[in-house]
Amino acid sequence: MQKTGTLLITGGAGYIGSHTVKHLLKQGEKVVVVDNMVFGHREALDLDRVTLVEGDLGDAELMDRVFAEHQPEAVLHFAAYAFVGESVEQPLKYYQNNVTAPLALLEAMKKHGTRRFIFSSTCATYGNPQYMPMDENHPQVPVNPYGASKLMLERILLDCGVAWGLQSVFLRYFNASGGDLEGEIGEDHTPETHLIPRILMAAKGEIEHITVFGTDYATSDGTCIRDYIHVNDLARAHALALNHLRNGGETTAVNLGTGRGFSVREILATAEAVTGRPIPVSYGPRRAGDPPELVANPAKAKEVLGWEAEYKDPRQHIESAWKWIAGPRGGRYRSSGQ
Protein backbone atom coordinates (compact mmCIF):
# COMPACT_ATOMS: atom_id res chain seq x y z
CA MET A 1 0.00 0.00 0.00
CA GLN A 2 1.17 3.55 -0.66
CA LYS A 3 2.97 5.19 2.23
CA THR A 4 0.80 7.78 3.89
CA GLY A 5 2.77 9.50 6.62
CA THR A 6 5.46 9.75 9.23
CA LEU A 7 6.26 6.78 11.44
CA LEU A 8 7.08 7.31 15.12
CA ILE A 9 9.55 4.72 16.41
CA THR A 10 9.94 4.52 20.19
CA GLY A 11 13.24 2.99 21.30
CA GLY A 12 14.41 3.30 17.71
CA ALA A 13 18.06 3.76 18.70
CA GLY A 14 18.18 0.35 20.38
CA TYR A 15 19.09 -3.05 18.96
CA ILE A 16 15.91 -4.20 17.19
CA GLY A 17 14.57 -0.67 16.76
CA SER A 18 17.63 0.59 14.86
CA HIS A 19 17.59 -2.40 12.49
CA THR A 20 13.90 -1.76 11.83
CA VAL A 21 14.56 1.94 11.21
CA LYS A 22 17.23 1.04 8.64
CA HIS A 23 14.81 -1.33 6.91
CA LEU A 24 12.03 1.28 6.85
CA LEU A 25 14.35 3.93 5.42
CA LYS A 26 15.25 1.56 2.58
CA GLN A 27 11.52 1.33 1.86
CA GLY A 28 11.27 5.12 1.62
CA GLU A 29 9.48 5.72 4.90
CA LYS A 30 9.77 8.97 6.86
CA VAL A 31 10.89 8.20 10.42
CA VAL A 32 10.91 10.05 13.74
CA VAL A 33 12.62 8.28 16.65
CA VAL A 34 11.91 8.96 20.32
CA ASP A 35 14.54 7.42 22.59
CA ASN A 36 15.71 8.32 26.10
CA MET A 37 19.16 6.86 25.21
CA VAL A 38 19.33 4.68 28.33
CA PHE A 39 20.08 1.75 26.04
CA GLY A 40 19.99 3.55 22.69
CA HIS A 41 22.87 4.79 20.57
CA ARG A 42 22.89 7.84 18.30
CA GLU A 43 25.45 6.08 16.11
CA ALA A 44 22.90 3.38 15.29
CA LEU A 45 20.82 5.89 13.33
CA ASP A 46 21.34 7.71 10.04
CA LEU A 47 20.75 11.17 11.47
CA ASP A 48 20.79 12.70 7.99
CA ARG A 49 17.54 10.86 7.32
CA VAL A 50 16.05 10.32 10.78
CA THR A 51 14.62 12.90 13.17
CA LEU A 52 15.79 11.95 16.66
CA VAL A 53 13.94 13.26 19.69
CA GLU A 54 15.84 12.50 22.89
CA GLY A 55 13.37 12.11 25.71
CA ASP A 56 11.06 9.77 27.56
CA LEU A 57 7.80 8.53 26.09
CA GLY A 58 6.30 8.85 29.58
CA ASP A 59 6.73 12.65 29.34
CA ALA A 60 3.19 13.73 28.43
CA GLU A 61 4.17 17.26 27.36
CA LEU A 62 6.93 15.94 25.12
CA MET A 63 4.62 13.38 23.52
CA ASP A 64 2.02 16.03 22.85
CA ARG A 65 4.63 18.24 21.14
CA VAL A 66 6.00 15.35 19.06
CA PHE A 67 2.55 14.39 17.82
CA ALA A 68 1.53 18.01 17.18
CA GLU A 69 4.68 18.65 15.13
CA HIS A 70 5.00 15.39 13.20
CA GLN A 71 1.43 14.01 13.09
CA PRO A 72 2.61 10.41 12.88
CA GLU A 73 0.49 7.96 10.96
CA ALA A 74 1.55 5.02 13.11
CA VAL A 75 3.67 4.11 16.12
CA LEU A 76 6.16 1.24 16.22
CA HIS A 77 6.87 0.68 19.91
CA PHE A 78 10.20 -0.90 20.91
CA ALA A 79 11.02 1.06 24.07
CA ALA A 80 11.15 -1.29 27.08
CA TYR A 81 13.38 -2.80 29.71
CA ALA A 82 14.01 -6.42 28.82
CA PHE A 83 16.25 -8.17 31.36
CA VAL A 84 14.23 -11.03 32.82
CA GLY A 85 16.39 -11.50 35.91
CA GLU A 86 16.39 -7.80 36.71
CA SER A 87 12.60 -7.72 36.35
CA VAL A 88 12.32 -10.29 39.14
CA GLU A 89 14.59 -8.23 41.38
CA GLN A 90 13.10 -4.82 40.48
CA PRO A 91 9.50 -5.37 39.38
CA LEU A 92 8.39 -1.77 39.95
CA LYS A 93 11.07 -0.52 37.56
CA TYR A 94 9.62 -2.76 34.85
CA TYR A 95 5.98 -1.92 35.48
CA GLN A 96 6.81 1.79 35.51
CA ASN A 97 8.80 1.73 32.28
CA ASN A 98 6.96 -0.95 30.31
CA VAL A 99 3.39 -0.27 31.40
CA THR A 100 3.00 3.17 32.97
CA ALA A 101 5.24 5.22 30.65
CA PRO A 102 3.47 4.12 27.43
CA LEU A 103 0.19 5.53 28.77
CA ALA A 104 1.39 9.07 27.94
CA LEU A 105 2.22 7.86 24.42
CA LEU A 106 -1.25 6.38 24.06
CA GLU A 107 -2.90 9.56 25.37
CA ALA A 108 -1.07 11.54 22.69
CA MET A 109 -2.12 9.04 20.04
CA LYS A 110 -5.74 9.33 21.12
CA LYS A 111 -5.64 13.15 21.17
CA HIS A 112 -3.98 13.52 17.77
CA GLY A 113 -5.85 10.78 15.91
CA THR A 114 -3.08 8.21 15.42
CA ARG A 115 -4.78 4.81 15.30
CA ARG A 116 -2.08 2.30 14.27
CA PHE A 117 0.27 0.62 16.75
CA ILE A 118 2.90 -2.07 16.15
CA PHE A 119 3.97 -3.56 19.47
CA SER A 120 7.30 -5.26 20.12
CA SER A 121 5.97 -7.97 22.42
CA THR A 122 7.51 -11.28 23.45
CA CYS A 123 6.98 -15.01 23.83
CA ALA A 124 7.59 -14.37 27.55
CA THR A 125 3.88 -13.50 27.76
CA TYR A 126 3.18 -17.24 27.42
CA GLY A 127 5.25 -18.34 30.40
CA ASN A 128 6.29 -21.95 30.68
CA PRO A 129 5.34 -23.91 27.55
CA GLN A 130 2.37 -26.25 27.86
CA TYR A 131 2.91 -27.64 24.36
CA MET A 132 5.39 -27.28 21.52
CA PRO A 133 5.65 -25.57 19.11
CA MET A 134 3.85 -22.62 20.70
CA ASP A 135 1.12 -20.87 18.72
CA GLU A 136 -0.84 -17.72 19.49
CA ASN A 137 -3.57 -19.68 21.27
CA HIS A 138 -1.12 -20.88 23.90
CA PRO A 139 -2.24 -19.70 27.37
CA GLN A 140 -0.57 -16.46 28.45
CA VAL A 141 0.66 -17.08 32.00
CA PRO A 142 3.93 -15.11 32.32
CA VAL A 143 6.32 -16.24 35.04
CA ASN A 144 8.28 -13.00 35.51
CA PRO A 145 7.51 -9.27 35.67
CA TYR A 146 9.06 -8.66 32.24
CA GLY A 147 6.59 -11.01 30.53
CA ALA A 148 3.76 -9.74 32.73
CA SER A 149 4.51 -6.12 31.80
CA LYS A 150 4.34 -6.94 28.10
CA LEU A 151 1.08 -8.82 28.54
CA MET A 152 -0.39 -5.88 30.49
CA LEU A 153 0.37 -3.53 27.62
CA GLU A 154 -1.19 -5.96 25.13
CA ARG A 155 -4.38 -5.85 27.21
CA ILE A 156 -4.27 -2.06 27.44
CA LEU A 157 -3.98 -1.85 23.66
CA LEU A 158 -6.97 -4.15 23.25
CA ASP A 159 -8.98 -1.92 25.60
CA CYS A 160 -7.96 1.17 23.60
CA GLY A 161 -9.17 -0.61 20.48
CA VAL A 162 -12.61 -1.02 22.02
CA ALA A 163 -12.69 2.51 23.49
CA TRP A 164 -11.35 4.62 20.62
CA GLY A 165 -10.57 2.46 17.63
CA LEU A 166 -6.84 1.78 18.05
CA GLN A 167 -5.66 -0.98 15.69
CA SER A 168 -2.64 -2.95 16.88
CA VAL A 169 -0.38 -5.82 15.92
CA PHE A 170 1.38 -7.65 18.76
CA LEU A 171 4.62 -9.20 17.50
CA ARG A 172 5.65 -11.88 19.98
CA TYR A 173 9.36 -12.49 19.41
CA PHE A 174 11.23 -15.61 20.30
CA ASN A 175 15.06 -15.26 20.63
CA ALA A 176 16.23 -12.22 18.66
CA SER A 177 19.77 -12.58 17.32
CA GLY A 178 22.17 -11.63 14.55
CA GLY A 179 23.09 -8.26 13.15
CA ASP A 180 23.01 -6.00 10.14
CA LEU A 181 24.37 -7.90 7.14
CA GLU A 182 26.46 -4.87 6.16
CA GLY A 183 28.03 -4.69 9.61
CA GLU A 184 27.05 -1.03 10.07
CA ILE A 185 24.93 -1.54 13.20
CA GLY A 186 24.61 -4.34 15.71
CA GLU A 187 23.84 -5.50 19.22
CA ASP A 188 25.48 -3.48 21.99
CA HIS A 189 24.00 -4.05 25.45
CA THR A 190 25.49 -3.38 28.86
CA PRO A 191 25.19 -5.83 30.46
CA GLU A 192 25.07 -8.29 27.59
CA THR A 193 22.91 -11.28 28.48
CA HIS A 194 22.10 -12.84 25.11
CA LEU A 195 23.75 -16.14 24.29
CA ILE A 196 25.19 -15.52 20.81
CA PRO A 197 26.93 -12.20 21.53
CA ARG A 198 28.32 -13.59 24.79
CA ILE A 199 29.70 -16.60 22.93
CA LEU A 200 31.34 -14.29 20.40
CA MET A 201 32.71 -12.06 23.17
CA ALA A 202 34.33 -15.19 24.62
CA ALA A 203 35.74 -16.07 21.20
CA LYS A 204 37.20 -12.58 20.96
CA GLY A 205 38.67 -12.76 24.47
CA GLU A 206 36.50 -9.99 25.92
CA ILE A 207 35.17 -12.35 28.60
CA GLU A 208 36.91 -15.38 30.08
CA HIS A 209 34.30 -17.95 29.18
CA ILE A 210 30.68 -18.60 28.37
CA THR A 211 28.63 -20.33 31.06
CA VAL A 212 26.20 -23.04 29.99
CA PHE A 213 23.40 -23.27 32.54
CA GLY A 214 22.23 -26.87 32.75
CA THR A 215 23.34 -29.94 30.84
CA ASP A 216 20.70 -32.38 32.11
CA TYR A 217 17.58 -31.21 30.30
CA ALA A 218 15.43 -33.73 28.45
CA THR A 219 16.77 -32.57 25.07
CA SER A 220 18.98 -34.21 22.47
CA ASP A 221 22.23 -33.06 24.13
CA GLY A 222 21.05 -32.00 27.57
CA THR A 223 21.13 -28.23 26.94
CA CYS A 224 18.27 -25.80 26.39
CA ILE A 225 16.74 -25.43 22.94
CA ARG A 226 15.63 -22.06 21.60
CA ASP A 227 14.14 -20.64 18.40
CA TYR A 228 16.53 -17.94 17.12
CA ILE A 229 14.99 -15.24 14.94
CA HIS A 230 17.29 -12.93 12.96
CA VAL A 231 16.94 -9.23 13.68
CA ASN A 232 16.55 -8.47 9.96
CA ASP A 233 13.59 -10.85 9.82
CA LEU A 234 12.14 -9.02 12.81
CA ALA A 235 12.59 -5.69 11.04
CA ARG A 236 10.81 -6.99 7.94
CA ALA A 237 7.96 -8.31 10.08
CA HIS A 238 7.35 -4.83 11.50
CA ALA A 239 7.08 -3.38 8.00
CA LEU A 240 4.62 -6.10 7.00
CA ALA A 241 2.59 -5.54 10.18
CA LEU A 242 2.37 -1.87 9.24
CA ASN A 243 1.15 -2.84 5.77
CA HIS A 244 -1.44 -5.09 7.40
CA LEU A 245 -2.89 -2.14 9.30
CA ARG A 246 -2.60 0.24 6.35
CA ASN A 247 -4.66 -2.21 4.33
CA GLY A 248 -7.42 -2.22 6.94
CA GLY A 249 -6.31 -5.33 8.82
CA GLU A 250 -7.73 -6.09 12.24
CA THR A 251 -5.90 -6.09 15.55
CA THR A 252 -4.01 -9.35 15.88
CA ALA A 253 -1.09 -11.12 17.57
CA VAL A 254 1.53 -13.17 15.74
CA ASN A 255 4.55 -15.18 16.81
CA LEU A 256 7.88 -14.39 15.20
CA GLY A 257 10.18 -17.37 15.04
CA THR A 258 11.57 -19.86 12.57
CA GLY A 259 9.72 -22.90 13.87
CA ARG A 260 13.06 -24.63 14.45
CA GLY A 261 14.99 -24.98 17.68
CA PHE A 262 18.74 -25.26 18.31
CA SER A 263 20.48 -26.27 21.51
CA VAL A 264 23.12 -24.27 23.33
CA ARG A 265 25.74 -26.84 22.34
CA GLU A 266 24.71 -26.58 18.69
CA ILE A 267 25.10 -22.79 18.82
CA LEU A 268 28.52 -23.15 20.45
CA ALA A 269 29.71 -25.57 17.76
CA THR A 270 28.45 -23.28 15.00
CA ALA A 271 30.19 -20.28 16.57
CA GLU A 272 33.49 -22.17 16.67
CA ALA A 273 33.08 -23.03 12.99
CA VAL A 274 32.26 -19.42 12.04
CA THR A 275 35.04 -17.78 14.05
CA GLY A 276 37.66 -20.49 13.68
CA ARG A 277 38.36 -20.05 17.38
CA PRO A 278 37.77 -22.26 20.41
CA ILE A 279 35.06 -21.03 22.76
CA PRO A 280 36.03 -21.36 26.45
CA VAL A 281 33.07 -22.88 28.29
CA SER A 282 32.16 -23.52 31.91
CA TYR A 283 29.15 -25.55 32.97
CA GLY A 284 26.80 -24.51 35.72
CA PRO A 285 23.49 -25.64 37.20
CA ARG A 286 20.15 -24.87 35.62
CA ARG A 287 18.79 -21.37 36.05
CA ALA A 288 15.42 -21.13 37.76
CA GLY A 289 12.66 -20.55 35.23
CA ASP A 290 14.54 -21.74 32.14
CA PRO A 291 12.25 -24.13 30.22
CA PRO A 292 13.98 -26.94 28.32
CA GLU A 293 12.60 -25.82 24.96
CA LEU A 294 10.97 -22.75 23.40
CA VAL A 295 10.01 -23.00 19.73
CA ALA A 296 7.45 -20.93 17.83
CA ASN A 297 4.71 -22.03 15.53
CA PRO A 298 4.99 -19.13 13.03
CA ALA A 299 2.18 -20.24 10.69
CA LYS A 300 -0.11 -17.33 11.56
CA ALA A 301 2.54 -14.75 10.65
CA LYS A 302 2.68 -16.23 7.16
CA GLU A 303 -1.10 -16.41 6.88
CA VAL A 304 -1.87 -12.91 8.19
CA LEU A 305 1.24 -10.87 7.34
CA GLY A 306 2.77 -12.84 4.47
CA TRP A 307 5.91 -13.22 6.60
CA GLU A 308 8.22 -16.10 7.24
CA ALA A 309 11.80 -16.15 8.43
CA GLU A 310 14.41 -15.85 5.69
CA TYR A 311 17.41 -16.59 7.93
CA LYS A 312 16.65 -19.98 9.45
CA ASP A 313 20.21 -21.27 9.73
CA PRO A 314 21.91 -20.17 12.98
CA ARG A 315 25.16 -19.91 11.04
CA GLN A 316 23.68 -16.85 9.28
CA HIS A 317 22.84 -15.30 12.63
CA ILE A 318 26.30 -15.93 14.03
CA GLU A 319 28.12 -14.76 10.89
CA SER A 320 26.26 -11.43 10.90
CA ALA A 321 26.80 -10.96 14.64
CA TRP A 322 30.50 -11.79 14.27
CA LYS A 323 30.81 -9.27 11.43
CA TRP A 324 29.73 -6.59 13.90
CA ILE A 325 31.70 -7.83 16.91
CA ALA A 326 34.93 -8.46 14.97
CA GLY A 327 34.48 -5.42 12.70
CA PRO A 328 35.90 -1.88 12.82
CA ARG A 329 33.60 -0.82 15.67
CA GLY A 330 34.54 -3.87 17.69
CA GLY A 331 30.91 -4.56 18.47
CA ARG A 332 30.54 -1.28 20.36
CA TYR A 333 29.07 2.14 19.86
CA ARG A 334 31.22 4.72 21.60
CA SER A 335 29.72 8.10 22.37
CA SER A 336 26.22 7.41 23.68
CA GLY A 337 24.05 4.86 25.38
CA GLN A 338 25.28 2.19 27.72
CB 10 within 8 A of CB 75: yes
Spatial CB neighbours of 60, under 8 Å, sequence gap ≥ 6: 104, 107, 108
Among candidate residues 100, 97, 69, the one with its CA nearest the CA of residue 83: 97
Q: 15, 81, 126, 146: which is the annotated catalytic residue?
A: 146
As a whole number of angstroms, the distance between CA 174 and CA 147 comes to 12
Give the count of beta carbons closer than 10 Å to the beta carbon of residue 156. Answer: 16
Give the per-residue pLDDT at 288: 81
- Report residues of the chain scoring pLDDT below 70: 1-4, 335-338
Give the per-residue pLDDT at 4: 63
Residue 305 corresponds to which amino acid?
A: L
Active site residue 217: no
Give the per-residue pLDDT at 190: 87
Q: What DSSP letter does each residue of 22-74 carry, written as one string? A: HHHHHTT-EEEEEE-SSS--GGGS-TTTEEEEES-TT-HHHHHHHHHHH--SE
As a whole number of angstroms, the distance between CA 118 and CA 98 comes to 15
Among candidate residues 9, 81, 3, 77, the one with its CA nearest the CA of residue 45: 9
Instruction: Look at residue 223 and give its three-state secondary structure.
Output: coil
Domains of the chain: 6-174+230-256 (3.40.50.720)
Give the per-residue pLDDT at 124: 96
Give the per-residue pLDDT at 139: 98
